[in-house]
Structure 1
Amino acid sequence: MRGEFDAPRSGGVPRIERDAETSSGGVPTDLDRGQTHLLGYVLLVGIVVVGSGAVLLFGGSGLEASESAVEIEHAERSLLAFTHATRTATEAGDDRVPVTIEGLERGTLETRADAGRVRIVREDGSGTEVLYDEPLGAVTYANGDTEIASQGGGVWRSDGDGTVAVSAPPLEYRDGSLWFPVVRFVETRTRGNAIDGVVSRSESPTRVGRGDRRSAGSGDVRIEIESTYCEGWQREIESTLSGGVTERCSAGRTDRVRFELTDPPDIGGIDTAIAAHEVDIHRNAPPIEGDVNAASVDADRVDGSVSGAGYDHPSVDSYVSGRVAACERTGFEEPDDVLEAGRYCVEALEDGHTFDTSDGDVEVVVRDSIDVRGDALRHVGENDVTVLADGPVSVGGNAVLGNESDPGRTQLLVSADGAVATATGTPTVAGLVYAPDSSVSLQGNPTVRGGIVAERVAVGNVRPGGVAYDERIAAAEVAATGPRLRRLGVTAYDVSLEE
């Protein structure tokens, strides 16, 4: 804006003149003010309308989410009550237990008789025996990313980031006994998004035994759970059976978890230095220090009692073969010092290894041979080492095999395909040599502290050295790297749901 000041020419009042553009581009006129007010009003109305729409949109979404959350919690409580009713039905025999699930409008309720599976097998050296293999079934509720299910006697909840147990399945392990009531849905007839009917046991329970080959005396029982809710099952199994899970959901199949219980042979109660069908002792060998149980033995070479009560010690051939077969499935590793508890699979074992059992029992499975001559296979720690050999075992030189401070902590189990021999030198075997289907030959100048069980034992012209019984092997047990199985209490209950 530009103005000009004109001085008065005839005594008039000074006048200010403005450019013509002032009314349109400078100070607003009344017309300009009216247009501005109208525009502001329109903008205000628009903001109010948009804001109201946003309130309706986001407010509606929040209400929807809130109502879905309420229904999900209601569904969870309903399936908990439903699962409790199925457990009651399994215990009630012919009784029919009423069940009701209703008020589910936003999610989907479904019954599936073929959902999931439980498989129980027994494995030993002679093969695999299927003890039980049936689907579990499930009653499920799904709402968005959330799914809740009654399966196997438990209630599971998945929110897209994994599965947890709302109510754990009735799985219990104590002192070598496993109790697992398997609850499975076989007949399901429902209508719509609700359940209003009864659950009942459809037939007599199926009791799962330990197999036709139980008389063989040893083996493993493996249980597999296939389920959409695998992670939840895995957590519950791990919390119940420490160290029992052999295949997690993150390995192999993502919907399967495997756990295993070991049924080792009972080799305890060894109360003699040697137990064998036949014992041949060289006339120049030092006397056996301890009792001998054998049908044929020179009693003059025994510094203890001699009996021929009969050679009756359980075979470990099938057990060793089964362990080797299991290792062939998982693979063998290079032998090294063992510093942690667990099972180790090697093709052969030679000099210079330490087995530290401070962390727990150790099991070493050797497929081919053991040959120790210049150094020790030394056992330290307060727990057990069991070495399973499916081939020849040779100890010579100044080697040490076992735990010299406590021979009762080391067991050497030899299959029918193996044999034990000492050669030249002054080797030491400190432990229980258990080869009931094989032979033990002691040559050179060996020292055996512990005990020997074998089909035939030959003691050569050893001096110094000899065989001396250590009473601590009487309590020897085969090391179990997972839960032991003394009793299998699995019962399968078929439950039907009918409206």
Structure 2
Amino acid sequence: RVDDEAGVMRIEVEAENETGGIETVTENVTLGAVVYERGDDRVAYQGGGVWRSNGDGSWMVSPPEFHYRGDTLTLPLVTIDGVDGRLGDDAVVTATSKHPEGLFPSENVSNPLLGGNVTVTVESQYAEAWGRFFETRTRANVTQVSPTEVRVALRTETVHPTLSAGVSALGTSRLEFGGINTLYADSYDSTGGSYPGKGNASDNAVLQTTSDFHLTAGGGGKTESIEIRGDLVAESFDTPKGQADKKLTITGEKRVDDSVGSADPVAGAI
């Protein structure tokens, strides 16, 4: 039989939008199912997978299309849309000519996500089997909310450590730009929680080099913009006329200071 209202998948994406605020986008998709029943046994095609259940629980027969690799989720949803009721000895399955509808990225949420949470919830008679499937395909947190509902959190919010000050050291005292496209720096007080987004960050950042600040290394390079919400400090500046106006934005002071000693080089990412 066809049950076009069997099962719902809810996808919630919480991420930073273009203005720096946190936005939540939710999509609810009715899955539907084609079900074969014999006594207490049920075999159903739902969400692109085949599931089986009886009085002792449910389990997966064939997996749906669900691929999660690190921060990348590929989830082509298959839905059942038809007339509810029993099927006869012969059944005809037809495919529509409509193109697949992309849910993400949306108007205000980018893809890939730059931080944020992705939660997938399945409400289904086969939720127990869906949950075990999520556990085998992801390293995320899977929660059995109820016998008919399971939830998987594919990404979790980053917890920022509390710092009294931040510092990084480069392998050279000369700070050159030209091999990067953009650079953005701001600041926030981590004692008040995690990073609040660009819209609520402060203009107290300090970018400092003990030697020369060279804006156009390599004859201009690929640098498009440098935005420093705070001060830029260097022993000297090499910024050709016209380049600084087009590429360099500083909300605080641009000043010369040669009183800071050299820092020890640090390998790896900070």
TM exceeding 0.5? yes
The residue type paired with residue 12 of structure 2 is V
* Alignment partner of 1:129 is 2:20: no
Contact 1:233–1:257 (CA under 8 A) maintained in structure 2 = no
TM-score by length of 1: 0.35
> Following TM superposition, by how much is the alpha carbon of 1:455 offset from its aligned partner in structure 2, in angstroms?
7.1
Partner of 2:45: 150
Contact 2:4–2:33 (CA under 8 A) maintained in structure 1 = yes
| Equivalent residues, number | 216
In the aligned structure 2, how far is the partner of 1:235 from the partner of 1:227? 13
Secondary structure of 2:90's aligned partner? strand
Map 1:103-118 → 2, pairs under 5 A: 110-118=1-9
Partner of 1:472: 268
Segments of 5+ residues of structure 2 without an aligned counterpart are 17-21, 159-166, 207-226, 233-249
> Following TM superposition, by how much is the alpha carbon of 1:158 offset from its aligned partner in structure 2, in angstroms?
1.7
TM-score by length of 2: 0.60
C-alpha change, 1:217 and 1:114, in structure 2 (3 Å) is closer
C-alpha change, 1:314 and 1:196, in structure 2 (3 Å) is farther
In the aligned structure 2, how far is the partner of 1:198 from the partner of 1:118? 26
Map 1:285-296 → 2, pairs under 5 A: 291=172
* Alignment partner of 1:416 is 2:240: no
C-alpha change, 1:389 and 1:140, in structure 2 (3 Å) is same
C-alpha change, 1:200 and 1:468, in structure 2 (3 Å) is farther
C-alpha change, 1:248 and 1:210, in structure 2 (3 Å) is same
Map 1:96-107 → 2, pairs under 5 A: none
In the aligned structure 1, how far is the partner of 2:7 from the partner of 2:36? 16
More helix by share: 1
In the aligned structure 2, how far is the partner of 1:160 from the partner of 1:179? 33
Secondary structure of 2:121's aligned partner? strand
* Alignment partner of 1:171 is 2:62: no
* Alignment partner of 1:220 is 2:90: no
> Following TM superposition, by how much is the alpha carbon of 1:182 offset from its aligned partner in structure 2, in angstroms?
1.2
Residue of structure 2 aligned with 1:312, choices 182, 188, 194: 182
Secondary structure of 1:206's aligned partner? coil
In the aligned structure 2, how far is the partner of 1:113 from the partner of 1:237? 23
C-alpha change, 1:215 and 1:184, in structure 2 (3 Å) is closer
Residue of structure 2 aligned with 1:201, choices 68, 72, 95: 95
Tell me how large the CA RMSD over aligned residues is. 4.5
Partner of 1:234: 131
In the aligned structure 2, how far is the partner of 1:199 from the partner of 1:310? 53
Partner of 1:188: 83
The residue type paired with residue 15 of structure 2 is D
The residue type paired with residue 205 of structure 1 is P
Partner of 1:248: 143
Segments of 5+ residues of structure 1 without an aligned counterpart are 1-109, 265-272, 275-287, 292-302, 321-347, 349-365, 370-387, 392-412, 422-435, 442-453, 477-499
Partner of 2:192: 368
Contact 1:141–1:149 (CA under 8 A) maintained in structure 2 = yes
C-alpha offsets along residues 274-308 of structure 1, whole Å, 9 cap, x if unaligned?
7xxxxxxxxxxxxx8655xxxxxxxxxxx425558
Identity of aligned residues (%): 25
Contact 2:51–2:60 (CA under 8 A) maintained in structure 1 = yes
In the aligned structure 2, how far is the partner of 1:255 from the partner of 1:307? 52
